[in-house]
Structure 1
């Protein structure tokens, strides 16, 4: 009989995602006699999440052990798997990623991958990720696997592999979400009716081959299906335009994709042409900041509802397509899992650099991750990925060394920032972000006083701009009403309703 092992979750205070991951894992019988070691910097949030997980275990009469501590090393001690769900600096830091670039004309929807916001997000995350890796090397089970869900995905995974020296797999659900969308547009009953090969880099992965009932779906057919769809035709204008020009569909939402490219958000007067305000993810200015702020408020006031939902019996049929549980199942049981994983390239994609973190198909079993090698991206897809990789590489190396000049060069080479800002504007914008986020950027401590002096000189004039499509943060009650209306509308769209 297998011995109990430990799964540590860092940033476990993210209640919804932690609950989903744990529930998925407990759907696998071989993964029920484990210890979940939850850790977070917020003792309050950690306590609430622990209550939810313990309720799940109790109701389902499982042998699972749940521990919770703010002592990260204690949580990681002896862990076989470590899952990272952190957001370093929280919303207090993240708002600067969105609001300071707006003063220089850079309008972002999410700002957690590249662009000015994503690069600074990486500067906050990477030193802490390396602390996690140090702890894993020192106190976790030998050969422990680090599953990184935290953004910026590629930068965090790159740092963990190159500098943290631990076995790391980066995970994201963009491929699955786009896969479902394609299946829906084609009229398939579920995504399992559609087969895909998807490859690229995280948040810029491309559906290279799509088969519906064994028949290959080309650019023209997919374009027609998406444009004819009553929802996607309005919400995915950037993705559809890229599909028409590149010949391949991107995994990422309209809002995400629009900020990785230099063409769709560079002129404020044109932004509304390419986005949709039916939901934040389709391009709203600072959309993810608003969404996460509202979600935090919802969590703080509706904890009893989350606890009540935790009392339901686990149903393996409702297991989600998040990678983590499937990876653990494959590694522990040998049951093969095919997914899309973020790993160091090393020749997997022939026309991207060897050191880059790529997202591509692979298989996992007891022997670990086995990637499908020899994939060559179409030239336009590779060029777009390469531009981001160059930014990611400089950003990672800057975060590790505290090199301000390299950090500014990374921001200067970002596709959207470069389409909008002059070098002088970039230099001042980065100074302003360093000063605003100094408490979360210890590697730049010696550089902050000089940045503050340069800001005092005020060479570059900025503007008070809320962006082309900023929406106000709603109250808990407003969110509740909007959610109810959305559910009602979805029910009304179902056949026979």
Structure 2
């Protein structure tokens, strides 16, 4: 087989390499072309050198090109994968820093909440530019695989406004299933059969079977509470499991942002989170992790390059959906997974226009979703709160309507539990002004926002959050990795 895959935002070096090696685990894909594109020539150069070394070490005919000219990369591409972060870590820092001034403590801030909504405002105009290029220069019927957050908003915009065949992909379901298999004592994750449904980062394990035996809520609660690690790291998820009756796919830290009950009181936050790793609820945890990862990669690049010379091991192929979807579409080897698509009857008690994450099968006929699923009422209710925010956020990003943007932020569950309307109005003004270079649709609104900020009497505070950690230095990271290596 010979076809072209374009990766937008290929400067996400570690993730790009994972996707690349996963795809090359498929024997039929040895002779394909990867076209890498990114705004950063520096990052492109690093990732191309790594991928070239992979190709060389494995004796493959695979072709790798790299260019900052996105349209050139997209020309003739059958598949386009996006893993962009518009505004990079600079804008992301504002997504965490500014809401903290108004009492909003986020762990990740990339899906909804104040940070996720503004992230969507930066991403959606760019996503629509991608879609325009895909329609004009990619192969006929090209498929757009979106990995970038905010997943639901990006996918919603690409389908409704970009008019491109789009599927959103995430690994939260797989990671949650691995946890469940472990606590239930499965010898392999393949012993666990499950159905998840909901929306991205709020997907629910509504059916669990271990070797064909249905797992009830009480058994799952007992298994998690008995686990020496997860009982501490997933306290909030376990509490939700007890109250809702089903386990959420998303991590403890992520889930805490989407519900209005666990992060609204600073003195209560530490009760529900765990500081052993960022993903369990640390304030700005993913920002710290991303910053450390970038610094580590820049400093230790020679090690990454050397590691690329190892043979590809198909047994180590990851559970990221992309390679499996491409394999199913091109070879007709059926793949089952959970994908983000427009609802259209897939989940009976969620809106038809929403982007849902639900089970589907892939073969040469495409992605075929299971329809007619009904969520437990409490799960549907929490999803609805987020969907309403997502819809307003998408429409605000398309129209450049700053009043609609403020209403979207006001209706966010955690923001609404913490902040007053006056605080939300000022916070959005502040975020739009700070991020104006990435928000072209709000250029007309920036002068008035600056004027309002100059006259505002709304008080803010300088606050690092309830559970903040400093970014570790390269020396600290080296010492920690050495200690882990010695211990393990």
Q: Is this a same-fold pair by TM over 0.5?
A: yes
Map of 2:217 onto structure 1:
219
Report the Cα distance in structure 2 between the residues aligned to 1:189 and 1:438, rounded to whole angstroms: 52
Map of 2:395 onto structure 1:
397
SS in structure 1 of the partner of residue 289 of structure 2? helix
Match of 1:90 among 88, 91, 100: 88
SS in structure 2 of the partner of residue 425 of structure 1? helix
Give, in angstroms, the shift of residue 483 of structure 1. Answer: 2.8
Report the Cα distance in structure 1 between the residues aligned to 2:454 and 2:248, rounded to whole angstroms: 42
Query: Does 2:146 align with 1:148?
Result: yes
Report the Cα distance in structure 2 between the residues aligned to 1:487 and 1:263, rounded to whole angstroms: 39
Map of 1:169 onto structure 2:
167
Encode CA deviations 1:254-304: one digit per residue, 9 max, x unaligned: 000001000000000100000000000000000000000001101111111
Map of 2:243 onto structure 1:
245
Query: Does 2:404 align with 1:406?
Result: yes
Report the Cα distance in structure 1 between the residues aligned to 2:217 and 2:5, rounded to whole angstroms: 43
Question: Map of 1:332-411 to 2, 5 A cutoff?
Answer: 332-411=330-409
Give, in angstroms, the shift of residue 488 of structure 1. Answer: 4.7
Report the Cα distance in structure 2 between the residues aligned to 1:240 and 1:289, rounded to whole angstroms: 25
Give, in angstroms, the shift of residue 486 of structure 1. Answer: 3.7
Report the Cα distance in structure 2 between the residues aligned to 1:255 and 1:427, rounded to whole angstroms: 26
Report the Cα distance in structure 1 between the residues aligned to 2:224 and 2:479, rounded to whole angstroms: 30
Report the Cα distance in structure 2 between the residues aligned to 1:240 and 1:258, rounded to whole angstroms: 12
SS in structure 1 of the partner of residue 78 of structure 2? strand
Report the Cα distance in structure 1 between the residues aligned to 2:109 and 2:321, rounded to whole angstroms: 23
Report the Cα distance in structure 1 between the residues aligned to 2:237 and 2:483, rounded to whole angstroms: 27
Report the Cα distance in structure 2 between the residues aligned to 1:106 and 1:485, rounded to whole angstroms: 35
Report the Cα distance in structure 1 between the residues aligned to 2:187 and 2:486, rounded to whole angstroms: 22
Report the Cα distance in structure 2 between the residues aligned to 1:292 and 1:81, rounded to whole angstroms: 27
SS in structure 2 of the partner of residue 188 of structure 1? coil
Map of 2:317 onto structure 1:
319
TM-score normalised per structure 2: 0.99
Report the Cα distance in structure 1 between the residues aligned to 2:357 and 2:483, rounded to whole angstroms: 36
Encode CA deviations 1:281-332: one digit per residue, 9 max, x unaligned: 0000000000000011011111111111110011111111000000000111
SS in structure 2 of the partner of residue 447 of structure 1? helix
Encode CA deviations 1:98-127: one digit per residue, 9 max, x unaligned: 000000000000000000000000000000
Give, in angstroms, the shift of residue 212 of structure 1. Answer: 1.0
Map of 1:191 onto structure 2:
189
Report the Cα distance in structure 2 between the residues aligned to 1:162 and 1:366, rounded to whole angstroms: 24
Give, in angstroms, the shift of residue 375 of structure 1. Answer: 0.3
Encode CA deviations 1:363-417: one digit per residue, 9 max, x unaligned: 0001101000010000000000000000000000000110101100000000000
Question: Map of 1:100-179 to 2, 5 A cutoff?
Answer: 100-179=98-177
Report the Cα distance in structure 2 between the residues aligned to 1:41 and 1:299, rounded to whole angstroms: 18
Map of 1:21 onto structure 2:
19
Give, in angstroms, the shift of residue 482 of structure 1. Answer: 1.9
Mark the runs of 5 or more structure 1 residues left unpaired by the alignment.
492-497
Report the Cα distance in structure 2 between the residues aligned to 1:179 and 1:296, rounded to whole angstroms: 29
Match of 1:268 among 248, 253, 266: 266
Give, in angstroms, the shift of residue 36 of structure 1. Answer: 0.3
Report the Cα distance in structure 1 between the residues aligned to 2:9 and 2:206, rounded to whole angstroms: 34
Report the Cα distance in structure 1 between the residues aligned to 2:303 and 2:366, rounded to whole angstroms: 38
**Aligned pair count?**
488
Map of 1:204 onto structure 2:
202
SS in structure 2 of the partner of residue 36 of structure 1? strand
Question: Map of 1:437-476 to 2, 5 A cutoff?
Answer: 437-476=435-474
SS in structure 1 of the partner of residue 123 of structure 2? helix
Give, in angstroms, the shift of residue 487 of structure 1. Answer: 4.6
Following TM superposition, the consecutive aligned residue runs of length 4 or more in structure 1 with deviations greater than 6 angstroms are none
Encode CA deviations 1:129-187: one digit per residue, 9 max, x unaligned: 00000000000000000000000000000000000000000000000000000111111
Report the Cα distance in structure 2 between the residues aligned to 1:287 and 1:464, rounded to whole angstroms: 18
Give, in angstroms, the shift of residue 480 of structure 1. Answer: 2.2
